């Protein structure tokens, strides 16, 4: 009897068995034949290349069957059986012993299969709260070093239908493990990820940047990526201007944040032709009048950003003399007069 036929018989026998409750984990005494058979089958899946299992290619399915004795259809049916019994991902992980000590995560296709199952399990139970990204990371981190996890999550992005999941795991690493930050940046750099792509991985487009560790992670990566980022990466001034003013307070990012802010401001001055009053309107667009910003405390990021823009405008358009004049007016608590003077440049 061929290996494929034997596995089919095992699977059919498992499907005919009684289903297992999600809430009740069976003890060693109550472990059913169905569970043992599914376990045997899932251990065989460790040899299947997960990236080739889900692309629907007849040639790929045939090559998998020839190499492992398991067709892509069997892989999918096995997942369905696990979902039918609502097998908890952590139990599946422990039962199949995916975290092999002598095998890297990137070389262990069983781990990728397990993550595929986690994804399906979440979909079935309508939410990742049933098994969170943090739980996944903690489970893997108990068996593998953090550097290996970071590399594995990056490689997972290359598997069809797993990129979004991999990105979520990377974000969770940033948010929950400070020690992973430098490793994460090095892995991205090795993969030649652009700051634009990392910006997307971290889902920063629609997020507030103030006190956002994901944004700080991006800034540090952009700094690592190189000076050419300033010329290649364009971000809306209102989105970054105020937040960069806050980031400038972080000691090791002050100079870099200042450089980005200067670049953005210069672009607005020379290309968009935005003067300080226009910039004030942009900052206070959700408030009654641009002078709203002038009445804010000096330590407020919006006020500080308008001041920084006005001073740069005066220096680049009017030279050192006008810069000193405008700076003096700000020092004398006359921000309105400072902006009026700068606009005469």
32 in a structural domain? yes
Look at residues 110, 131, 152 and tell me which one is the last residue of a structural domain.
Answer: 131
Q: What is the mean pLDDT of the chain?
A: 76
Lookup result for tokens 């006190």:
211
Instruction: Provide the pLDDT for residue 133.
Output: 93
Instruction: Provide the pLDDT for residue 54.
Output: 41
137 in a structural domain? no
Q: How far apart are CA 329 and CA 214, in angstroms?
A: 37
pLDDT at residue 196 greater than cutoff 80: no
Per-residue pLDDT band at 207 (split at 50, 70, 90) = confident
C-beta neighbour count of 116 within 10 angstroms: 21
- Rounded percentage of the chain residues whose pLDDT exceeds 70: 71
pLDDT at residue 181 greater than cutoff 80: yes
Look at residues 131, 151, 179 and tell me which one is the last residue of a structural domain.
Answer: 131
pLDDT tens sequence across 288-331: 777 888 989 998 888 999 999 999 999 999 999 999 999 999 99
Lookup result for tokens 């070389």:
107
289 in a structural domain? yes
Tally of domains within the chain: 2
Look at residues 131, 159, 174 and tell me which one is the last residue of a structural domain.
Answer: 131
pLDDT at residue 78 greater than cutoff 50: yes
Instruction: Provide the pLDDT for residue 57.
Output: 38
- For residues 289 and 8, the model is more confident at 289
Burial 336-345, CB ≥16 within 10 A → b, else e:
eebbebbbeb
Domain of 296? 274-345
Lookup result for tokens 């953005």:
264
User: Average of pLDDT values for 231-259?
Assistant: 70
291 in a structural domain? yes
Cβ contacts of 317 within 8 Å, gap of 6 or more: 269, 342, 345
124 in a structural domain? yes
Per-residue pLDDT band at 42 (split at 50, 70, 90) = low
84 in a structural domain? yes
User: Average of pLDDT values for 165-184?
Assistant: 94
Contact 148, 187 (CB under 8 A): no
153 in a structural domain? no
308 in a structural domain? yes
């Amino acid at each position: 009897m061929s290996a494929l036929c034997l596995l089919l018989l095992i699977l059919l026998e498992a499907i005919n068995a009684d289903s297992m409750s999600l809430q009740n984990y069976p003890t060693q005494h109550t472990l059913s034949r169905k569970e043992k058979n599914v376990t045997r089958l899932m251990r065989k899946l460790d040899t299947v290349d997960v990236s080739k299992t889900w692309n629907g290619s007849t040639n790929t399915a045939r090559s998998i069957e020839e190499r492992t004795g398991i067709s892509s259809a069997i892989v999918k049916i096995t997942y369905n059986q696990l979902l039918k019994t609502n097998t908890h991902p952590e139990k599946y992980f422990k039962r199949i012993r995916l975290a092999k000590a002598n095998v890297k995560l990137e070389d262990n296709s069983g781990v990728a299969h397990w993550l595929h199952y986690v994804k399906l399990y979440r979909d079935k139970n309508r939410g990742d709260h049933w098994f969170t990204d943090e739980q996944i990371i903690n489970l893997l981190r108990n068996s593998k070093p953090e550097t290996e996890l970071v590399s594995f999550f990056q490689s997972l992005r290359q598997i069809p239908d797993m990129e979004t999941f991999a990105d979520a795991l990377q974000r969770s690493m940033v948010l929950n493990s400070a020690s992973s930050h430098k490793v994460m940046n090095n892995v991205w750099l090795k993969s030649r990820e652009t700051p634009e792509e990392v910006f997307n991985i971290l889902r920063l487009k629609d997020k507030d940047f103030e006190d956002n560790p994901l944004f700080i992670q991006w800034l540090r990566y952009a700094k690592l990526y190189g000076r050419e980022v300033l010329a290649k990466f364009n971000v809306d001034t209102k989105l970054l201007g105020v937040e960069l003013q806050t980031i400038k307070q972080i000691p090791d990012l002050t100079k870099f944040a200042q450089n980005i802010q200067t670049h953005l401001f210069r672009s607005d001055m020379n290309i968009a032709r935005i003067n300080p009053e226009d910039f004030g309107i942009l900052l206070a667009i959700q408030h009654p009048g641009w002078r709203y910003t002038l009445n804010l405390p000096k330590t407020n990021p919006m006020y500080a950003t308008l001041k920084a823009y006005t001073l740069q405008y005066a220096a680049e358009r009017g030279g050192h003399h006008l810069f000193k004049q405008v700076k003096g007016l700000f020092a004398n608590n006359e921000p309105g007069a400072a902006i009026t003077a700068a606009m005469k440049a």
